């Protein structure tokens, strides 16, 4: 099985690349962002609580996110692996993911980091806010999301560097160029 995590700051293009990767490799796309937005749209208790946290640019607790992921893994059959998008976001989540996948006998194959300069990320996020009407994407909230990313999520890369599973690609090119860089890595690890 090919189990990969797409990694990078908000606006790096993880969702765009995930769609292409999932199609090419027959993976189940587990996007915590999509799962959470669905809960918010449905107005569930979880969704209401999540909205309050997200609208401040903060991260949801590890327990919430892990419960979403575990539930999703159990419901996907007939796939050649999983693409984790937006997970793990903390070192503790990475440790939990490693434990979950170890039980299946199919550990994480790679953590692929999409690297994009800060000013380009901000431009993309503000553009996305206009197009999608996302209330959680204004400059103040975006900057807070970047701070949260640097403080809590960036250390996840170090966790996988120690395991020699961390790979970086330049995310400042065209969608196809970035995808080609990612597929080269995946062909090596699978």
Give the predicted TM-score (pTM) of the model. 0.85
pLDDT computed for residue 135 by the predictor: 66
pLDDT computed for residue 62 by the predictor: 86
Whether 4 and 14 have beta carbons less than 8 Å apart is answered as no
pLDDT computed for residue 33 by the predictor: 81
From CA 185, how far away is CA 175, in angstroms rounded? 16
pLDDT computed for residue 136 by the predictor: 62
CA–CA distance from 177 to each of 10, 17, 101, 149, 169 (Å)? 19, 11, 30, 25, 10
Question: What does the DSSP 8-state code read for residue 150?
Answer: I
Tokens of 23: 């199609």
The H-assigned helical ranges of the chain are 14-25, 32-42, 45-54, 62-74, 91-104, 118-132, 139-148, 154-162, 175-189
Q: What is the per-residue pLDDT across 39-70, written as a single tens digit (0 to 9) for each?
A: 899 998 888 988 888 888 788 888 888 888 88
From CA 183, how far away is CA 190, in angstroms rounded? 10
Q: What is the per-residue pLDDT across 21-37, written as a single tens digit (0 to 9) for each?
A: 999 999 999 988 888 88
From CA 56, how far away is CA 136, in angstroms rounded? 8
Per-residue pLDDT of the chain (190 residues; tens, 9 = 90+): 999 999 999 899 998 999 999 999 999 999 888 888 888 999 988 889 888 888 887 888 888 888 888 878 888 889 999 999 989 989 999 999 999 999 889 999 999 999 999 999 999 999 988 888 776 668 888 899 899 999 999 999 999 999 999 999 999 999 999 999 999 999 999 9
Radius of gyration of the chain (CA): 16
Tokens of 62: 């590890």
């Amino acid at each position: 099985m090919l189990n990969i995590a797409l990694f990078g700051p908000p606006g790096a293009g993880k969702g765009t690349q995930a769609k292409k990767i999932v199609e090419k490799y027959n993976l189940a796309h587990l996007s915590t962002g999509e799962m959470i937005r669905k809960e918010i749209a449905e107005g569930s208790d979880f969704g209401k609580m999540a909205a309050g946290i997200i609208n401040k640019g903060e991260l949801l607790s590890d327990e919430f996110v892990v419960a979403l992921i575990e539930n999703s893994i159990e419901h996907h059959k007939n796939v050649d692996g999983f693409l984790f998008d937006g997970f793990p976001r903390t070192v503790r989540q990475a440790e939990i993911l490693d434990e979950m996948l170890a039980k299946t006998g199919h550990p994480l194959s790679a953590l692929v980091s999409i690297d994009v300069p800060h000013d380009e990320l901000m431009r993309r996020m503000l553009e996305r806010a206009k197009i999608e009407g996302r209330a959680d994407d204004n400059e103040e909230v975006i900057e807070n999301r970047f701070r949260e990313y640097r403080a809590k999520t960036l250390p996840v890369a170090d966790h996988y560097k120690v395991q020699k599973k961390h790979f970086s690609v330049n995310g400042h090119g065209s969608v196809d160029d970035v995808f080609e860089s990612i597929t080269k890595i995946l062909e090596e690890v699978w």
